[in-house]
Amino acid sequence: MRVLFQYNWQVRDEWFQWCEQLAEVELLRPRTGGVGSILETLFHIVDVEQAWISGLQGKPEYHHRFEEYASLEAVKQLSDRCRPDVERFVTNWSPELEKKKFLEFYYGEVMRHVIAHEIHHIGQLSIWSRELGLKPVTANLIRRGLV
């Protein structure tokens, strides 16, 4: 579980770096598919992760509003701010939690949903990157020293 979350965080941070080569107008430009723009996709990934992991910790569900984070720096800061709490939960994950119920879901199902959610949206960014004529961040999980 931990490896796939760490993979996602590493890849996400590389996308934040990748974004630095683009003007904010490009990052915010509406695009076809996904949640609409490069920056809103990254924001959405961060927001969905924190919301589910908060939920699993018994905290009330809270969603950030993109309007309040509509710059690269703000989304990066939100990501950095949310990560320690998620990281603590992931680090303390144990197999007994797999079948614990959260609403109508199992904890194990929610964790994998969060993992797949980010990888899926990152795949979308890779297409937009090529449409912009830019090399996307590598999606390879090997050669990252994660295991």
Binding site for its own copies (CB under 8 A): 3-4, 7, 32-34, 98-99, 105-106, 108-110, 112-113, 115-117, 119-124, 126-131, 136, 139-142, 146-147
Q: Which stretches of 72-146 are DSSP H helices? A: 72-91, 107-131
Identity of the residue, 71 or 116, whose beta carbon is nearer to its own copies in the bound complex: 116
Which residue in 94, 90, 141 sits closest to 119, CA to CA? 141
Identity of the residue, 87 or 109, whose beta carbon is nearer to its own copies in the bound complex: 109
Least Å from the CB of residue 80 to its own copies: 23
The dihedral sign for the CA sequence 142, 37, 79, 71: positive
Least Å from the CB of residue 81 to its own copies: 25
Angle at 84 between CA 62 and CA 129, to 5 degrees: 80
End-to-end distance of the chain based on CA atoms, in angstroms?
11
Identity of the residue, 45 or 86, whose beta carbon is nearer to its own copies in the bound complex: 45
Which residues belong to the annotated binding site? 44, 117, 121
